[in-house]
């Protein structure tokens, strides 16, 4: 049996065996979130033919920054260095976005929130949903003092910065990958259509709506038939400005297949279940937003 703790380098066996279910759930969710982010960034790095040479160079340097952020924290406990490198990676991805929007002049500024991201969101308003992450990372490194002076930061601050940077970079990576696939930057949820997210999970758009914040949104129904949990349909409310993170299924045969699967699951899922009952929760913050959890299964030895 493979355990999450098997992949934590240097973790003492006594510590691994003493972990509570609550601790394991927190670690598992963080690992899932980070793995998903790395997966999206990796996909972009191997599918960079759509990028210009300067864009590819920024991408590769950003990948080194992310690697250096975790390495400096792990090897040297350099929290300031980790935050600086995390900020540097998150800074390069919006600069790639500016170039993709036609702004080719080199940006020397390190002001991620007030200059770089502000300009990017002005060119493509759908990027606005990243602002909480941009603001949180900028608060940890508001200027370059963190590189040249002693600016006390905790290990928790450094980990938070790395998670935020991974979220910013991976979400932009996913947006661009879907832009390539759909052939346009324009996207919108439409009732009756099927969609995929970055993990290729399947969704049905049931209806458009107004979110609790007064923004235009849509009700998506995630559906799957899993070996662990059986048939599952979950209703989510997503803002329209986040539609760039979902790819509409336009192939008629694939859309018909998903329609048949969805209708079958809807007939089987008659009684709504509170997601908390089966260990699933909605997590949202600067380091990412996702639905997930850790399911504990009793395994009997034969």
Using an 8 Å Cβ cutoff, are 65 and 86 in contact? yes
Q: Once rounded to an integer, what is the mean pLDDT over residues 145-172?
A: 92
Q: Once rounded to an integer, what is the mean pLDDT over residues 245-250?
A: 95
Query: 58 or 275: which carries more pLDDT confidence?
Result: 58
| Cross-strand pairs, 283 | 290
| Nearest residue to 191 via CA among 142, 150, 248 | 248
Domain boundaries along the sequence of the chain? 21-182, 194-292
Rounded distance, CA 86 to CA 170, Å? Answer: 13
Q: Per DSSP, which regions of the chain are E strands?
A: 194-196, 202-210, 216-226, 230-239, 247-248, 281-285, 288-292
Architecture category of domain 21-182 in CATH? Up-down Bundle (1.20)
Is this prediction's pTM over 0.95? no
pLDDT for 40:
83
Q: Once rounded to an integer, what is the mean pLDDT over residues 107-132?
A: 81
* Token reading at 105: 């002049």
Dihedral sign for Cα atoms in the order 243, 246, 247, 253: negative
State pLDDT tens for residues 267-284.
Answer: 887 665 555 555 555 556
pLDDT for 166:
92
């Amino acid at each position: 049996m493979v355990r999450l703790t098997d992949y934590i380098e240097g973790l003492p066996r006594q510590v691994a065996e003493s972990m509570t279910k609550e601790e394991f759930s927190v670690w598992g969710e963080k690992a899932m979130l980070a793995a998903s982010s790395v997966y999206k960034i990796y996909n972009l790095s191997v599918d960079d033919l759509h990028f210009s040479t300067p864009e590819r160079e920024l991408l590769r340097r950003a990948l080194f920054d992310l690697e250096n952020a975790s390495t400096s924290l792990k090897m040297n406990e350099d929290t300031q260095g980790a935050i600086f490198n995390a900020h540097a990676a998150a800074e390069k991805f919006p600069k790639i976005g500016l170039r993709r929007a036609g702004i080719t002049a080199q940006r020397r500024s390190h002001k991620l929130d007030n200059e770089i991201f502000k300009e990017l969101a002005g060119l493509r308003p759908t990027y606005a949903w990243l602002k909480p992450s941009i603001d949180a990372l900028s608060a940890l490194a508001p200027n370059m003092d963190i590189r040249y002076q002693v600016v006390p930061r905790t290990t928790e601050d450094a980990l938070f910065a790395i998670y935020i940077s991974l979220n910013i970079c991976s979400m932009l990576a996913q947006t661009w990958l879907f832009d390539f696939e759909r052939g346009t930057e324009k996207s919108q949820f439409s009732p009756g259509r099927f969609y995929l997210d970055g993990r290729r999970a399947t969704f049905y758009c049931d209806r458009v709506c107004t979110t609790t914040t007064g923004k235009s949104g849509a009700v998506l129904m995630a559906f799957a038939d899993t070996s662990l949990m059986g048939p599952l349909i979950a209703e989510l409310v997503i803002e329209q400005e986040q539609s760039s993170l979902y790819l509409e299924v336009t192939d008629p045969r694939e859309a018909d297949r998903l329609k048949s699967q969805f209708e079958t699951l809807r007939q089987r899922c008659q009684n709504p279940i509170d997601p908390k009952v089966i260990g699933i929760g909605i997590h949202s913050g600067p380091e990412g937003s996702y639905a997930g959890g850790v399911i504990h299964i009793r395994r009997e030895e034969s």
